[in-house]
Amino acid sequence: MNNKSKYTAAAAQLGPIDPSEPKESVVARMLNLLIEAKTKGTELVVFPELCLTTFFPRYYITDPANLDTYYESEVPISLMSDMFELVRKEKIIISFGYAERDNGIPFNTSVYVDSSGNIVGKYRKIHLPGHYEYEPDRPFQHLEKRYFTKGNLGFPTFDTTLGRLGMCICNDRRWPETYRVLALQGCEVVTLGYNTPKHYPLAPEHDHLQEFHNHLCMQAAAYANGMWVIASAKAGLEDNCELIGGSCIISPRGEIVAEANTTMDELVVAQIDLNECTLIRENIFDFNFDIYIPLYIYIYYIFFY
Ligand code: ING
């Protein structure tokens, strides 16, 4: 596989998706961002978590038929045919998140589509935030624990022409373990999407820190693991719920090298150099020598059991 170490990548941020907006309309917006990416010579494009619909865990949905409209039993290739065609024609790798039903089991999922137009990677969200039961005191719900099953694919990495890629989804990005497990497998670029409300009902004191916490966890992880992080938000005022933007591309040095300026549909573009990963991993955090896994296992054991 002729790996490229230097190429252009993008976070394709989406603005609000109204509950009434058809998936076809959202896909047309995604296609516009992909066309813009093509014109800018971009080879890796990252779309947000659950990017085909409004962030439906915000609602307590009792009608199973209505809830089912948010899920896909297969990757919606026919719905996204124009995007897949462009991916094949322009040799672009994309990732996007959607709600998956696998033999009826619901997952918060993301996939990679490579330049052949094939699905070459899948990840299912492991860290599911929020709650299971309807909580009337909340201004909006966050029912991911109700609507999704904990991911059962681990944190896999995928060898592509653009390096060894790995995915996580939204709340996963707040947990250092996510990145370390990927880094120990040689992951060079982590791609992720998120839907993050500005208001966190259980800790409103943190509301003014949401944008800071968003970047803090990813910048620290990028540096500590010598990885690129490409993070794509679903942003803006979505059915009266404010979602933070801040889509960005973070280098293994921990620097934000590109960031969204709006909370609307916006392509955030930067040059990726995979050699930056090696610089960190060989000189700062020497994974070959300094990592002591048995100690970590012992610490987890005494802490958790
Ligand atoms: N959303 C939020 C996230 O992790 C959240 C949930 C917000 C958790 C703020 C903690 C603090 O960004 C999703 N979809 O995980």
Per-residue pLDDT reduced to its tens digit, 140-154:
999 999 999 999 999
Distance separating alpha carbons of residues 118 and 84, to the nearest angstrom: 9
> Which two tokens mark 244?
């933070």
Catalytic residue among 125, 188, 217, 277: 125
The best mutation among 98, 142, 199 to test binding of ligand 1, ranked by most ligand atoms within 8 Å of the C-beta, falls on: 142
Beta-carbon count within 10 A of 146 CB: 18
Per-residue pLDDT reduced to its tens digit, 12-63:
999 999 999 999 999 999 999 999 999 999 999 999 999 999 999 999 999 9
Catalytic residue among 43, 49, 100, 266: 49
Task: Please give the number of the atom of ligand 1 that sits closest to the Cα of 174.
Answer: 4
Q: What is the pLDDT of residue 217?
A: 98
Per-residue pLDDT reduced to its tens digit, 53-85:
999 999 999 999 999 999 999 999 999 999 999
Please give the average per-residue pLDDT across 267-278, as a whole number. 98
Burial of 177 (0-12, 13-18, 19+ CB in 10 A): middle
Task: Report pTM.
Answer: 0.96
* 252 within 8 A of 279, measured Cβ to Cβ: yes
Q: Is 170 in the pocket of ligand 1 (CB under 6 A)?
A: yes
Q: Is 127 in the pocket of ligand 1 (CB under 6 A)?
A: no
CA of 174 to the centre of ligand 1 (A): 8
Distance separating alpha carbons of residues 297 and 305, to the nearest angstrom: 11
The answer to whether residue 291 scores a pLDDT higher than 90 is no
170 is known as an active-site residue: yes
The best mutation among 174, 202, 214 to test binding of ligand 1, ranked by most ligand atoms within 8 Å of the C-beta, falls on: 174
Per-residue pLDDT reduced to its tens digit, 82-135:
999 999 999 999 999 999 999 999 999 999 999 999 999 999 999 999 999 999
Sorting pLDDT into bands at 50, 70 and 90, what band is 299? confident
* 277 within 8 A of 304, measured Cβ to Cβ: no
Backbone angles phi, psi at 87, to 5 degrees: -60, -45
Residue nearest atom 7 of ligand 1, based on CA coordinates: 196
CB-based contacts of 216, cutoff 8 Å, min separation 6: none
